Amino acid sequence: MSENADCPPPSFATAQVQAGYAAPAAPTSAVPPIYQSNAFALKSLTHARDLFAHRADGDVYARTGNPTATIFEQRITALEDGVAAAGIASGQAAVALTILALTGRGGHVVAANQLYGGTVDLLVETLPDWGIETTFVDQDDIDAWHAAVRPSTRLFFAETVANPIAQVLDVRAVADAAHAAGVPLVVDNTVATPYLQRPKRFGADISVHSATKFIGGHGTVIGGAIVDLGTFDFSAEPEKWPALTEPSRRIPSGESLLEHYRDTSPFIALIKAKHMHDLGPTLSATTAFALLQGLETLDIRMQRHAASAQRIAEHLATHPAVARVHHPGLAGNPWHDAAQTYLERGVPSVFSIDLHSTGDDEADFVRAETFIAGLKVLHLLANIGDARSIVTHPASMTHSHLSPQQLADGGISWATVRLSIGLEDADDLIADLDRALALL
């Protein structure tokens, strides 16, 4: 607020709220600033009307976006070679909103067996409350993807590199199967990140991320992203996508989102105008700022993560206390050839090992607990993609809600231990693992 001849000096209460600041015409900081505001200045009522009518671009209220989040969205869009993105409060919310936007009421999903446990919980327990059903298939069985399609199928869903066994998805084959069914392939690219894989190159249509992991990289914030890769034609079968192709009450002109946003991304417009607006999983300005800091060093960090993990996997593959190492960078791994095709810059640092099994789940849990308790450099945390190296027991932690059959379908046993290799010295990590394995 500034004083002038037409405006009398402010009272104390007015000054304490407004003195010394007027919204600038443009940011001047070299580093993207934190726009810590729940609402944004509007030029006039006409400008406000145009914003609410989707006739102008700009920020109105922080529930549906803020300028710091917009910078993050533009940056992740560029890294994925997409057309638009939505920053979301968490990776789980990114997955949920993507599926809700595509399926509508009563839609059907075909999903890989090899998924993060929280995603399985979402698909098995929560989305059925909306009438959304899921058929799970072995991600490597392309015939099973085709066979699972129903008239109500609206998307295929898989992880480019699965958590925790690190199976590498044959993106091209699954994308072709999805497109033969007339639906998009949605991939969770969290573990690979856009640095190790750009799934658009192989036919994927939408990429989702838990930016909490490698994108942020430091274990300090939770956030997510949805990226429209711009490859799927929603107009080919408009009856499948009424939220996009029928007149929208969100657009006063009576146009559909597909018509109104034909030059950008109707899908991301749907995510923001409906699902973010109505459900409110907002990416905060401070979180977006932290994620931007992480993105600035993503390539350097991923190179270090991948190189250290490869070296550690090779070491553990020769260790007598380890029954198996699930790392597609190893020549004997079932997904080694796929890794050469889809992960040319390196294999992600999230992988698992199997300790020797006793044949009894509880006894295997005790052995895993002994091993994990012996670690001093790796930390027991329910996270991955951190600067710190992390150890997790999937069967009792991240995938604990899965049935025995679901665990088996995902390649997980009670002897399985997941590792997320961080940025520490690889020699220190190897020594720590060796000391703990010696306790078995």
Question: What confidence tens digit (pLDDT) does each residue in 73-100 have?
Answer: 999 999 999 999 999 999 999 999 999 9
Tell me, yes or no, whether 24 lies in a domain: no
Tell me, yes or no, whether 406 and 356 share the same domain: yes
* Domain co-membership, 146 together with 72: yes
Neighbouring-strand partners of residue 161: 168
**Domain final position from 241, 273, 294:** 294
On whether residue 46 sits in a domain, the answer given is no
- Calpha distance 155→186 (Å, rounded): 7
Instruction: Answer yes or no: do 231 and 310 share one domain.
Output: no
Query: For the purposes of burial, counting CB atoms within 10 Å of the CB of 218, is it exposed (0-12), middle (13-18) or buried (19 or more)?
Result: middle
pLDDT, one tens digit per residue, over 239-298 is: 999 999 999 998 888 899 999 999 999 999 999 999 999 999 999 999 999 999 999 999
What is the pLDDT at residue 4? 53
Kindly state whether residues 290 and 394 are assigned to the same domain: no
Judge contact between 416 and 352, C-beta under 8 A: yes
Residues 6+ apart with CB under 8 A from 129: none
Q: Which of 324, 420, 321, 399 is nearest to 367 (CA)?
A: 321
242, 371: one domain: no
Residue 111 has pLDDT above 90, yes or no: yes
Do 270 and 349 lie in one domain? The reply is: no
Helical segments of 58-214, H only: 67-80, 91-103, 117-121, 142-147, 171-180, 193-196
* Cβ atoms of 94 and 69 closer than 8 Å: no
Containing structural domain, residue 405: 298-437
**0.85 surpassed by pTM:** yes
Chain mean pLDDT for the chain: 93
CA–CA dist 126, 122 (Å, integer): 5
| Integer Cα distance of 168 and 300 in angstroms | 22
Q: Are residues 266 and 128 in the same domain?
A: yes
- Structural domains counted in the chain: 2
What's the full length of the chain, in residues? 440
Q: Looking at the structure, do residues 284 and 340 belong to the same domain, yes or no? A: no
Does a structural domain hold residue 219? yes
Is 339 in the same domain as 194? no
> Would residue 76 count as lying in a domain?
yes
Domain shared by 401 and 271, yes or no: no
Which CATH number is 350's domain given?
Answer: 3.90.1150.10
Tokens of 28: 């001047």
- Whether 148 is covered by a domain: the verdict is yes
Chain segment 403-432, per-residue pLDDT in tens = 999 899 889 999 999 999 999 999 999 999
One domain, residues 208 and 265:
yes
Report the pLDDT value the prediction gives residue 1, as an integer from 0 to 100: 44
Q: Domain ends where: 265, 294, 323?
A: 294
Question: In the chain, how many H helices and how many E strands?
Answer: 18, 12
Q: Which residues sit opposite 353 in a β-bridge?
A: 325, 417
pLDDT mean over 185-209: 97
* Same domain assignment for residues 278 and 326: no
27 confidence band (pLDDT: 50, 70, 90): low
The percent of residues above 70 in pLDDT, for the chain, comes to 95
Q: Could you tell me if residue 241 is inside a domain?
A: yes
